């Protein structure tokens, strides 16, 4: 995510490090949750819902809605004050490890250092046919007001589209002498995205001499941050990624002496 | 296009014909016997004359006592096929027609059974009919979920298929438990779900309809299985496979025609997939492509024998909610479809692309979607889920969604009587613009002469140069092209008893 400098932010006092949820007054700790229990709707089920709320740290908890769904299930909405405090100093944030560059800077950096175009091969692999996400990154049309990688003069984009088999992807990446391979995975049921990504990275490592594997990048709305290593890829991009972020990362990872300036 | 469809066959059309003749089952690796038999015939004598003539000729010559054993022997390469002529030809064709007609008659009986059950249990009390999706991947989980949904008010249950099935060039066998984001369409899964919903229909006092997908490389076979197992609606779009699955255009149009002939005979309502144009492109800019696709779907459907009441043409609520007047434009588009196809059971589909993790906003959007459905008299309403962008629906998501539908239909269902947008107002003007753009696009397709020299019909040329969904799909590329075969002309040329029976409307 890009962090933008908000005028006047510096003058405001910094937020407290210990906080509780805010309902309508500071420190009231109010939250709302909804869930289903596999119980018929009766007094006992309502008591069970409150017991769960207490165990989740809601005390006092107020059962505001209970509705039977068929003979065997009940749906609940519970409001309550949570007893937990959160300490923002213990939160670990993965900061973007590369500067955001403007299109011009990206083109210039590639031209100066590589002296050729940077080649990117993209695909949805396995049985996944959700191409809208990878197209948002690659196609000229782009995403969120930013043009896609095809728009960059110094980047050559080969977009293979949907349901590409891993061996075909590897073959094409070799034929095109890809610097980076961009793969999208949207379907996550039964961890399909994890299996497919693992299979893909293994295939690349088998097909290329070590040290020459192209940069492997995967994206999709439901990858977990920080799992790139476990999946055998170089980086993961999640929900709301913009093409500019991806292009900046590619330059950071692939172009020696890339500019370190942070675009404002 | 129709001439092209009539002058070709495909491996899947031939396999579907063998399924009608009663061949089912698969080898220990799950490869169906119909695949083995069609492949063996093709390798030896080709499919230009159809699969049934050499197959029934082989049976007549005593190569095997029945179709199953013939297929098993063919799989191990121990049968020789021939192309008979004279008396042999007449006899083989007669035998083929006799066997295939049994499958057709079973489809006819299922249609009669449906009509009887609808009379007994009744149709839904309201329109639109409420259409809900289940998709667990496991038929044993799907069944209780579908039954629960029907008890909560669903009139139509759709079982979504596993990802990837559309590109399998065979139909999996048996009850399945391991689909990805959907459950495999198999004859046994169809049978199990239909039987379960027959029970539930009795219990809830209305006939619960069952839907699946006739798309992908096995469109004709799935259509046959749906007819044999009394499914009630089938997703069946004339261009979806080409544009969104990169299936070869000729393969698609040939398969589509046969599958729709089967649906017509089976009394199945087809559902077309115009929603897909709006999830891949901008719903305002692409609004007219929906109209064009509806018109094409209608044309190809009628040509294959489907009637107005069987045309569940699709459209969807997919305009970016944040743009000004988005709701008024949705109303305009929905009314346009309603007025263009007054007798068709239109299928109205909910927002998906602009749903986010903000489920509260999503619930409101779904309410507005339901309201458009009520105000414009849609026929089938696919229920939207507030968790669309998050998970495959929880039990409670479905329950809340159905409450939303019931509230809107109950409170505003009658608005269809009162709601007449003023002449030349925003809604009429917008509808006229979309219709104008649709006509313009159709004219551009007709005028497209890029394929003339190669004998490619204008529609195929248009698909080839990226007119639809921005996807370029040339007629000589795409998956499944290898399974397309040109029919041999003349009286001893191509023969397919299924096509003959369907086109004659006869049953023997
Ligand atoms: C549009 C859509 C479709 C369209 C896809 C059309 C197309 N050409 O892509 C169609 C209708 C074909 C479709 C089909 C199916 N779909 Co669908 N679909 C959606 C929908 C509505 C929107 C997805 C989308 O386009 N988002 C917009 C894009 C821009 O976002 P994005 O993909 O997250 O991409 C961004 C980032 O993630 C990232 N990114 C993504 N990829 C990459 C790659 C790289 C390299 C990088 C750097 C970044 C990056 O950058 C993008 C821009 O920010 C979602 C629901 C939803 N609202 O999210 C369901 C959804 C994704 N679909 C789903 C399902 C189950 C299916 C089907 C399996 C249903 C079925 N059984 O038939 C089929 C699957 C077919 C297949 N073989 O894959 C489920 C997935 C559930 C899950 N988590 O597993 C969802 C979540 C709906 C649901 N709740 O059930 N679908």
Tell me, yes or no, if B418 is annotated catalytic: no
Q: Which token pair is B354?
A: 């602009």
Taking the C-alpha atoms of residue A28 and residue B459, their distance in angstroms, rounded to an integer, is: 65
- Residues contacting residue A106 through CB under 8 Å, at least 6 positions apart: A152, A154, A155, A247, A248, A251
Q: How many CB atoms lie within 10 A of CB B312?
A: 26
**How does residue A1 score in pLDDT terms, banded at 50, 70 and 90?**
very low
Cα separation of B300 and B377, whole Å?
25
- Best mutation site among A124, A130, A236, A247 for ligand 1 pocket (most ligand atoms within 8 Å of CB): A130
Contact criterion met (CB < 8 Å) for A161 and B392? no
**Among all residues of chain B, which has the CA nearest to that of A162?**
B245
Mind telling me the catalytic residues of A?
141
Q: Which residues contact B507 (CB under 8 A, 6 or more apart)?
A: B101, B104, B105, B108, B501
CA–CA distance, B186 with A157 (Å, rounded to integer) = 40
Q: Which of B245, B246, B392 sits opposite A189 (nearest CB)?
A: B392
- What's the full length of chain A, in residues? 264
HSE, side-chain direction, 13 A CA sphere, residue B255:
34
Nearest 5°: CA angle at B276, between B271 and B280?
Answer: 180
More confident residue, B392 or B460: B460
Does B382 fall in a domain?
no
Q: Quick one: pLDDT band at residue B488, thresholds 50, 70, 90?
A: very high
Output the residue whose Cα is nearest ligand 1's atom 81: A187
Instruction: Please give the number of the atom of ligand 1 that sits closest to the Cα of B166.
Output: 77
Closest CA in chain B for residue A222: B390
| Residue in this structure with the two tokens 């070590």, named with its chain if needed | A210
In this complex, do B245 and A73 lie within 8 Å of one another by their Cβ atoms? no
User: According to the model, what pLDDT value does residue A261 have?
Assistant: 54
In angstroms, the separation between the Cα of residue B167 and the nearest Cα of chain A is 9
pLDDT at A260: 65
Q: Is residue B69 part of a domain?
A: yes
**pLDDT (tens digit per residue) in B230-272:** 999 999 999 999 988 889 999 999 999 999 999 999 999 999 9
**Neighbouring-strand partners of residue B382:** B131
In this prediction the ipTM stands at: 0.83
Which residues of chain B have a CB within 8 Å of the CB of A126? 164
Which residue in A70, A126, A128 is closest to B152 by CB distance? A70
Q: Which residues of chain B lie closer than 8 angstroms to A192, CB-CB? A: 163, 180-181
N- to C-terminal Cα separation, chain B: 29
- Considering only CB atoms, B399 lies closest to which of A75, A129, A132, namely A75
**pLDDT value at A263 more than 50:** no
Query: Is A86 in a helix, a strand, or coil?
Result: strand
Task: Tell me, yes or no, whether B9 lies in a domain.
Answer: yes
Looking at the CA of residue A130, tell me the nearest atom of ligand 1.
9
The answer to whether A82 and A29 are in contact (CB under 8 A) is: yes
Q: Kindly determine whether residue A163 and residue B167, on different chains, have CB atoms separated by under 8 Å.
A: yes
Per-residue pLDDT, A3: 45
Dihedral angle, C-alpha B129, B130, B136, B140, nearest 10 °: -70
Do the domain assignments include residue B255?
no
**Chain A residues within 8 A of B163 when measuring between CB atoms:** 127-129, 187, 192
Q: Residue B96: what are its φ and ψ, rounded to 5°?
A: -60, -45
Distance CA A32, CA A47 (A): 17
Q: What spatial distance separates the first Cα and last Cα of chain A, rounded to whole Å? A: 14
Contact B152 A161 (CB under 8 A): no
Domain count, chain B: 1
Of ligand 1's listed atoms, the one at least distance from the Cα of A133 is: 34
Ligand 1, atom nearest to B213 Cα: 72
- B228 pLDDT exceeds 50? yes
pTM: 0.89
Those residues with Cβ within 8 angstroms of residue B436's Cβ, 6 or more apart along the chain or in another chain: none
- Please tell me the distance from the alpha carbon of residue B277 to that of residue B330, in angstroms, as a whole number: 15
* A69, A125, A188, best to mutate vs chain B, most B CBs in 10 Å: A69
Residue A4 pLDDT = 46
Q: Do domains A18-88 and A103-254 have the same CATH topology?
A: no
Q: Is a pLDDT exceeding 50 seen at residue A2?
A: no
The yes-or-no verdict on residue B382 having pLDDT over 70 is yes
For A18-88, CATH gives 3.30.30.60
CB nearest to A189's CB, from B181, B245, B395: B181
Would you say residue B489 lies in a domain? Answer: no
pLDDT at A51 over 50: yes
Query: Hey, how many other C-beta atoms are within 10 angstroms of the C-beta on A133?
Result: 20
Q: Tell me which of B462 and B317 has the higher pLDDT.
A: B317
Domain membership flag for residue B368: no
The answer to whether the beta carbons of residues A80 and A37 sit under 8 Å apart is no
Domain extent for B11? 2-100
Give the pLDDT confidence score for residue B469 in this predicted structure.
67
Q: Which of B352, B385, B392 to mutate to test the pocket of ligand 1 (most atoms within 8 A of CB)?
A: B352
Q: Do the Cβ atoms of A235 and A228 come closer than 8 Å?
A: yes
CA-wise closest residue to A220 among A193, A181, A185: A185
A70 contacts on B by Cβ (under 8 Å): 148, 151-152
Alpha-carbon dihedral B395, A129, B315, B147, rounded to 10 degrees: -30
Structure tokens at B100: 């295939």
Q: Flag whether pLDDT at B440 surpasses 70.
A: yes
The answer to whether the CB atoms of A127 and B245 lie below 8 A apart is no
Cα B445 to Cα A246: distance, rounded to the nearest angstrom: 38
Å from CA of A130 to ligand 1 middle: 5
- pLDDT(A39) > 60: yes
Length of chain B equals: 508
Rounded to a whole number of angstroms, the distance from the CA of A53 to the nearest CA of chain B is 18
Q: From the CA of A186, how far away is ligand 1's center (Å)?
A: 5
Interchain pair B164, A132: CB under 8 A: no
C-alpha B40/C-alpha B20 separation (Å) is 19
Domain ranges of chain A: 18-88, 103-254
Active-site option among B131, B184, B207, B240: B240
Interface residue ranges in chain A relative to chain B, Cβ cutoff 8 Å: 34-36, 67, 69-70, 73, 75, 126-129, 131-132, 161-163, 187, 189-190, 192, 221
Whole-number Å distance between alpha carbons of B307 and B269: 9
Q: Which residue has the higher pLDDT, A244 or A226?
A: A244
For residues B58 and B65, what is the distance between their CA atoms, to the nearest angstrom?
10
The CATH number that domain A103-254 falls under is 3.40.50.280
**B81 inside domain:** yes
Option in B163, B392, B396 nearest A69 (CB): B396
Distance A233 CA to ligand 1 centre (A): 21
Q: How confident is the model at residue A162 (pLDDT cuts 50, 70, 90)?
A: confident
Torsion angle (degrees, nearest 10) of CA B422, B427, B430, B431: -90
In a domain, B67, yes or no: yes
CA–CA gap between residue A120 and residue A139 (Å, rounded): 12
């Amino acid at each position: 995510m890009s962090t933008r400098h908000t005028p006047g932010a510096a003058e405001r006092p910094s937020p407290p490090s210990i906080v509780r949820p805010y309902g309508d007054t500071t420190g009231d700790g109010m939250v709302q949750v909804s869930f289903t229990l596999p119980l018929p709707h009766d007094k006992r089920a309502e008591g069970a819902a409150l017991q769960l709320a207490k165990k989740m740290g809601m005390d006092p908890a107020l059962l505001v809605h209970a509705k039977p769904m068929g003979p065997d299930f009940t749906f609940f909405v519970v409001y309550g004050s949570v007893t937990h405090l959160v300490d923002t100093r213990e939160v670990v944030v993965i900061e973007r490890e590369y500067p955001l560059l403007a299109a011009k800077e990206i083109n210039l950096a590639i031209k100066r250092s590589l002296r050729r175009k940077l080649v990117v091969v993209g695909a949805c692999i396995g049985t996944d046919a959700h191409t809208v996400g990878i197209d948002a990154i690659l196609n000229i049309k782009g995403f969120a007001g930013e043009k896609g990688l095809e728009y960059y003069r110094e980047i050559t984009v080969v977009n293979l589209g949907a349901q590409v088999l891993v061996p075909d992807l590897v073959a094409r990446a070799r034929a095109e002498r890809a610097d980076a391979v961009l793969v999208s995975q949207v379907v996550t049921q039964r961890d399909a995205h994890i299996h497919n990504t693992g299979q893909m990275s293994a295939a690349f490592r088998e097909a290329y001499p070590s040290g020459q594997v192209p940069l492997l990048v995967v994206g999709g709305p439901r990858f977990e941050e920080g799992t790139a290593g476990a999946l055998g890829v170089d980086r993961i991009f999640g929900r709301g990624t913009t093409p500019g972020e991806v292009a900046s990362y590619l330059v950071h990872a692939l172009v020696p002496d890339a500019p370190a300036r942070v675009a404002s | 296009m129709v001439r092209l469809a009539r002058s070709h066959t495909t491996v899947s059309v031939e396999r579907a014909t063998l399924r009608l003749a009663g061949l089912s089952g698969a080898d220990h690796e799950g490869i169906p016997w119909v695949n083995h038999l069609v492949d063996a015939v093709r390798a030896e004598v080709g499919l230009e004359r159809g699969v049934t003539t050499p197959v029934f000729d082989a049976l007549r010559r005593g190569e095997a006592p029945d179709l199953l054993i013939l297929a098993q022997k063919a799989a191990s390469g121990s049968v020789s096929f021939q192309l008979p002529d004279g008396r042999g030809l007449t006899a083989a064709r007669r035998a083929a027609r006799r066997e295939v007609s049994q499958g057709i008659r079973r489809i006819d009986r299922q249609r009669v059974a449906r009509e009887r059950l609808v009379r007994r249990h009744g149709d839904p009390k309201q329109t639109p009919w409420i259409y809900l999706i289940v998709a667990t991947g496991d038929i044993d989980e799907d069944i209780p979920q579908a039954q629960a949904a029907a008890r909560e008010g669903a009139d139509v249950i759709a079982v979504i298929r596993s990802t990837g099935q559309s590109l399998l060039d065979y139909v999996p066998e048996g009850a399945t438990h391991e689909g990805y984001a959907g459950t495999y369409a198999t004859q046994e899964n169809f049978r199990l779900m239909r039987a379960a919903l027959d029970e539930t229909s009795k219990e809830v006092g209305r006939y619960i309809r069952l839907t699946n997908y006739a798309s992908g490389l096995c469109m004709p076979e799935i259509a046959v299985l749906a007819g044999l197992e009394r499914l009630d609606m089938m997703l069946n779009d004339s261009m979806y496979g080409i544009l969104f699955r990169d299936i070869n255009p000729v393969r698609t149009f040939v398969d589509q025609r046969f599958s729709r002939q089967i649906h017509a005979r089976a009394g199945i309502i087809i559902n077309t997939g115009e929603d897909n144009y709006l999830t891949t492109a901008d719903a305002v800019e692409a609004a007219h492509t929906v109209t064009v696709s509806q018109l094409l779907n209608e044309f190809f459907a009628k040509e294959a024998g489907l009637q107005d009441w069987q045309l569940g043409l699709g459209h969807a609520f997919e305009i970016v909610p944040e743009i000004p007047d988005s709701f008024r434009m949705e109303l305009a588009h929905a009314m346009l479809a309603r007025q263009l196809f007054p007798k068709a059971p239109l299928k109205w589909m909910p927002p998906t692309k602009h749903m986010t993790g903000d489920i509260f906003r999503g619930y409101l959007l779904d309410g507005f979607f339901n309201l458009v459905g009520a105000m414009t008299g849609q026929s089938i309403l696919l229920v939207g889920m507030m968790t669309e962008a998050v998970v495959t629906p929880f039990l409670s998501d479905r329950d809340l969604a159905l409450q939303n539908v019931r509230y809107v239909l109950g409170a505003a269902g009658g608005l269809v009587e009162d709601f007449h947008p003023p002449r030349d107002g925003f809604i009429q003007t917008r509808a006229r613009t979309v219709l104008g753009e649709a006509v313009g696009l159709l004219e551009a397709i007709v005028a497209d002469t890029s394929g003339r020299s190669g004998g490619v019909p204008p529609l195929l040329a248009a698909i080839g140069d990226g007119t639809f969904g921005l996807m370029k799909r040339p007629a000589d590329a795409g998956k499944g092209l290898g399974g397309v075969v040109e029919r041999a002309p003349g009286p001893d040329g191509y023969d397919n008893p299924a096509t003959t029976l369907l086109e004659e409307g006869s049953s023997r």
